[in-house]
């Protein structure tokens, strides 16, 4: 099995290296290019549609290794994979059309909802139970809760990746780290179908990153960011819903970077009385650039943050399996503290809004200037 997994990864990587330059030529030919504006950091016209290379490399590699799998796919996993590729193809089609014609936000959202509904109603895949935090039990969900929750999860995570796609290699690298985390936990849990999908997708992303890391030769566009977000949403559904003792918080930790950036963007716009969907230059990568970091330094720092979240997720997941609930509580506390301190330090909500840092400053014990002085 190890050999098949390694060969699958290498095949996906090689296919991405071959297909991405072809996709680049295709993007230029059909006019799927990104024009610089006030919100973007690049200064020249760039071909996008690079996500098509990731999708094709991943799909072709999966079809190639499928006949050689050393294990039988359970009916549920086979059904999931059909849903994954069917709805994923819808997402890719939406992305391709947007990269070429710049669809409106409403049209893209409608397409994402259609893809999510395909997963839920077409293949019957949904979050049908929720783990009760800090207890070795779970509660079944009624359809009127499970169905909208699943659709919201898929659409939300899909868009979270799209929002951080602002620097060369950023969204691809963060997605790769998150997928690597899911791969690690899937091996720990013995969930080999998920591990295989993660490894193939990881290979395709790494191959694409060769052309996408700064200075980028091609952008992934919405084709890539939407597909990677959708993939993360789906892989986390399959990877964790079968394990009753894994807390519901694990998938949220894995994609902590894009989700937290999205959360603080909503808070920032609400505080400043701006429309929630209005674009701005207050995202994590914008703030880090304002602090004087170079393009590469910013991307690598965010990679480090994503890796930190990935390690937390693996620790939390392993602890949950071993019923060490206190570790879950500790991980959540550490994550929330780091998120809030980091957001205040770099000004994700506002340069002057630092409630936690202000509280720490007020609680700090100041030295008595008269102590030690002679009477």
Contact (Cβ atoms closer than 8 angstroms) between residue 51 and residue 224: yes
* Other beta carbons within 10 Å of 323: 12
Q: What would the two tokens of residue 290 be?
A: 């304002």
Higher pLDDT, 297 or 330: 297
Strand-pairing partners, residue 126, are: none
Asked whether residue 34 is marked as a ligand-binding residue, the answer is no
Express each pLDDT in 109-127 by its tens digit.
Answer: 999 999 999 999 999 988 7
Strand-pairing partners, residue 139, are: 130
Express each pLDDT in 140-157 by its tens digit.
Answer: 667 888 899 889 989 988
Q: Can you spell out the DSSP letters for 319-358?
A: HHHTT-HHHHHHHHHHHHHHHHHHHHHHTSS-TT--HHHH
Please tell me what DSSP assigns to residue 66.
G
What's the whole-number mean pLDDT along residues 354-364? 73
What is the four-CA torsion angle of 316, 319, 321, 323, rounded to 10 degrees? -130
How far is CA 59 from its chain centroid? 19
What residue segments make up the domains of the chain, in order of their start?
2-363
Q: CA-to-CA distance for 344 and 16, rounded, in angstroms?
A: 39
Asked whether residue 222 is marked as a ligand-binding residue, the answer is yes
Q: Is the pLDDT of residue 372 over 60?
A: no
Helix (H) or strand (E) holding 129: strand 129-131
Q: Identify the residue whose tokens are 């949403």.
A: 233
* Confidence class for position 247, pLDDT limits 50, 70, 90: very low
Q: CA-to-CA distance for 313 and 165, rounded, in angstroms?
A: 22
Non-local CB neighbours of 307 within 8 Å, separated by 6+ positions: 177
């Amino acid at each position: 099995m190890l050999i098949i997994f390694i060969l699958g990864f290498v095949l996906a990587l090689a296919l991405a290296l071959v297909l991405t330059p072809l996709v680049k030529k295709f993007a230029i030919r059909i006019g799927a290019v990104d024009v610089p504006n006030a919100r973007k950091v690049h200064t020249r016209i760039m071909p996008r549609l690079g996500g098509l290379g990731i999708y094709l490399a991943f799909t072709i590699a999966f079809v190639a290794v499928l006949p050689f799998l050393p294990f039988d796919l359970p009916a549920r996993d086979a059904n999931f994979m059909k849903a994954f590729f069917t709805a994923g193809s819808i997402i890719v089609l939406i992305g391709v059309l947007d990269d070429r014609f710049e669809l409106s936000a409403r049209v893209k959202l409608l397409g994402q909802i259609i893809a999510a509904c395909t997963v839920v109603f077409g293949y019957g895949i949904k979050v049908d139970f929720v783990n009760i935090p800090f207890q070795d039990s779970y509660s079944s969900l009624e359809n009127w809760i499970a169905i909208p929750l699943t659709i919201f999860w898929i659409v939300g995570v899909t868009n979270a990746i799209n929002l951080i796609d602002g620097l060369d290699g950023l969204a691809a690298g963060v997605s790769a780290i998150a997928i690597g985390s899911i791969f690690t936990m899937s091996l720990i849990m013995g969930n080999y179908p998920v591990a295989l999908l993660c490894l193939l997708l990881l290979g395709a992303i790494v191959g694409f990153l060769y052309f996408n890391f700064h200075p980028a030769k091609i952008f992934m566009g919405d084709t890539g960011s939407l597909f990677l977000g959708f993939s993360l949403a789906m892989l986390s559904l399959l990877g964790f819903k079968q394990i009753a003792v894994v807390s519901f918080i694990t998938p949220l930790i894995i994609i902590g970077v894009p989700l937290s950036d999205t959360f603080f963007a909503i808070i920032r716009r609400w505080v400043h009385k701006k429309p929630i969907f209005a674009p701005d230059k207050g995202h994590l990568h914008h703030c880090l650039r304002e602090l004087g970091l170079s393009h590469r330094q910013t991307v690598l720092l965010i990679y480090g943050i994503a890796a930190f979240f990935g390690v937390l997720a693996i620790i939390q997941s392993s602890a949950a399996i071993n019923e060490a609930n206190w570790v879950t509580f500790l991980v959540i506390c550490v994550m929330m503290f780091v998120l809030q301190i980091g957001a205040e330090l770099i000004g994700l909500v506002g340069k002057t809004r630092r409630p936690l840092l202000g509280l720490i400053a007020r609680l700090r014990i100041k030295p008595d200037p008269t102590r030690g002085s002679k009477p």
